[in-house]
Structure 1
């Protein structure tokens, strides 16, 4: 077979209704498609078997993780081109794609693809895939296992990807500077929105490797409790805190946020954690944080969102993310998050959308991973490194194309008097003693 790429290209056009926007190279060395751009390399016919048994995103991802398909050239350009085929085809997502052997209109193309794919049965999923889960979502045990799958990959691996800041959430780019500068500016922005002062009690929910806790204690004199479900994160954070000489002001706990009972706190930060909470649990999350704040206390909720869909009662997950990256993770539209915070009693005083900032951040993380690829593979595995490269690059494209966003909600447990303590002029988050706004 010396024309596999040409045959694949023709079949793709029949199945998709439009030509592939990228060049193909098949396992037999043949090529087809537009020249001059990125090349989608199909290294083995097993990739086609995966697609036949699991049409859509998950089949493609399994082939990617197994190394059966690859990309030569600009990964972002290839993902952007394929995104147009997947995302711009209406409301049906990739996992609801019609199987070509079951649809009479596509059966001929499906049979031709079957012939190209080679002998069945399909290969098993790569080992890194999370097994299908049953039972109630977001129990404490299930959430603990999901968090461990993603965050207990190894602190050295995360240090390689994230850089010295060890911040695993959207940076805040104020013009120029490095990734570390942008992450510091994000932490400082959050501290200013929370109006942190010496002696304030801050609860950092989903504290990660301790970066927000350290910044709040060192730069603002706060007394911080950080909670995480990842034991590896907690150990790393405690070591950093001891090295900074801040152990008397920061406590790191391996604890579920639902089990925190030592309020009231003056402020709560939740940075990139609420995506793990899920729609079935979100009202309890908002209620718990409201109950942990003193009257007048502030919450900064930094959270990824998705675009609204027609059926907002359904449970929405991304097949790739759920199987390989964030098991049981779920994104909600921005409006639903705001409404739930208000239903819990919060007064939402500010929402800042920083979608483009996350695309820039992810591109920096991908660059770090690619620069240190050999070490990343040694620290984890070839499959795990490929998963992280694809998920971060694809997420960057999703932010750039406005498929997902990220927002900072500043919410207040406003006391009965109505005195919120928020400055009259928005976006100036601290006040002088006479009540007039000041920049920091």
Structure 2
């Protein structure tokens, strides 16, 4: 009888209808596949049971998070090779349901079941979110934000570095430093907003306070930063006190729907709108519009997905939704611009910085890998593995143009005069 790796590889290739581009090492120590290919380690039969119980991305994610699957060699190369089987299957590629109509495929699945053994499918890893209640209520949004951001400030310090900025940096060159690129991003946002001393800035989704500190210290504005994360708020307040900026910055644990103390001269929303949800996006844009003074500016920095030929067929990424950003939704750039305009904004500038996010994510992955044992102690092995996979896969998604990120500058243009307050040559920030 063939060893476990050869049997597993052959059966999987029959089911998928393609040759696996990786080498497999099975739980019995056997290996099969191209000798120079990256190594996919199947540590136990439990990994196979997870895949059989939940075929596709979610089963793979569960096996990865639980440590039943691993990768030896370059993580990016392996994910790139596997992406054609998971994320980038051609439209005409056969689905599993279609494949199961073929007798030889059904026989291969029965072979996988025998190879997996008779035990029941294991429970999902504890890091997996179980959705409860309606999407995007105050309660469910607070719970989703807590899942992602209340992992521990010490863990995020490892990943993000001293800047503690958890959004796409702005790189002058790939050889620059993450800290310089994050500082340049914050400065870019401030200049697009045209911040001047004495103005009021609302920072929606303020994170650990980096934007608030930069805007107050470098541009002399007063800032209100809001977040739903208790850990972020505590960290930001301590940081602000150390900077001597408590007279100019207020950090609130508050939902954007509950802010009532406008008008503000400017609003920054950096990496926050992805959490709003498609059904609530127009109301979100209307809320921000109402909080701005006439002539005030909004800088919306947001990840975008590519539009589908059939938008009704779009579905959330199972791994991201279950382990990373519960209830998060990405929209095409055109949809975001349309919703901002429907809310009353005049969109004045759109800048795509997709390549910048790939560079940023690779730096975060390098930070995590460099301090991996401590990261696992702080967040737990499963959560650390979630972040490693999510950031590495996201870097590839940006590099291959599966997703993008854009800064959209919009103005609450006065109804009477139509004067935007923008310079004739607006891109002076370049």
Q: Give me the TM-score of the superposition, normalised by structure 2.
A: 0.96
Is 1:161 aligned to 2:141, yes or no? no
Mean Cα deviation higher: 420-429 or 263-272: 420-429
Structure with the higher helix share, 1 or 2: 2
Aligned counterparts of 1:299 and 1:146: Cα–Cα separation in 2? 25
> Unaligned 5+ residue runs, structure 1?
430-438
Is 1:14 aligned to 2:2, yes or no? no
Structure 2 counterparts to residues 266-345 of structure 1, below 5 A? 266-313=265-312, 316-345=315-344
> Unaligned 5+ residue runs, structure 2?
none
Mean Cα deviation higher: 303-312 or 270-279: 303-312
Mean Cα deviation higher: 238-247 or 82-91: 82-91
Q: What residue in structure 1 maps to residue 206 of structure 2? A: 207
Q: What residue in structure 2 maps to residue 363 of structure 1? A: 362
Alpha-carbon deviations, 1:186-233, whole Å to 9, x = none? 000000000000011000000000000000000000100000000000
Q: What residue in structure 1 maps to residue 395 of structure 2? A: 396
Is 1:37 aligned to 2:7, yes or no? no
Q: What residue in structure 2 maps to residue 377 of structure 1? A: 376
In the TM superposition, residue 177 of structure 1 has moved relative to its aligned partner by: 2.2
In the TM superposition, residue 313 of structure 1 has moved relative to its aligned partner by: 3.9
Alpha-carbon deviations, 1:18-70, whole Å to 9, x = none? 10111111111111112223210101011110111100000001011111110
Q: What residue in structure 1 maps to residue 140 of structure 2? A: 142
What is the CA RMSD across the aligned residues, in angstroms?
A: 1.8
Contact 2:133–2:140 (8 Å) recurs in 1: no
In the TM superposition, residue 317 of structure 1 has moved relative to its aligned partner by: 1.3
Aligned counterparts of 1:381 and 1:183: Cα–Cα separation in 2? 27
Q: What residue in structure 2 maps to residue 433 of structure 1? A: none
Q: What residue in structure 2 maps to residue 88 of structure 1? A: 88
Q: 1:134 to 1:379 in 2, by over 3 A?
A: closer
In the TM superposition, residue 98 of structure 1 has moved relative to its aligned partner by: 3.5
In the TM superposition, residue 115 of structure 1 has moved relative to its aligned partner by: 1.1
- Secondary structure class of the residue paired with 2:197: coil
Q: 1:138 to 1:97 in 2, by over 3 A?
A: farther
Q: 1:103 to 1:137 in 2, by over 3 A?
A: farther
In the TM superposition, residue 15 of structure 1 has moved relative to its aligned partner by: 1.5
Aligned counterparts of 1:79 and 1:297: Cα–Cα separation in 2? 44
Contact 1:55–1:98 (8 Å) recurs in 2: no
Contact 1:205–1:271 (8 Å) recurs in 2: yes
Q: Give me the TM-score of the superposition, normalised by structure 1.
A: 0.94
- Secondary structure class of the residue paired with 2:300: strand
Contact 1:317–1:330 (8 Å) recurs in 2: yes
Q: 1:309 to 1:405 in 2, by over 3 A?
A: same
Q: 1:129 to 1:267 in 2, by over 3 A?
A: same
In the TM superposition, residue 86 of structure 1 has moved relative to its aligned partner by: 2.2
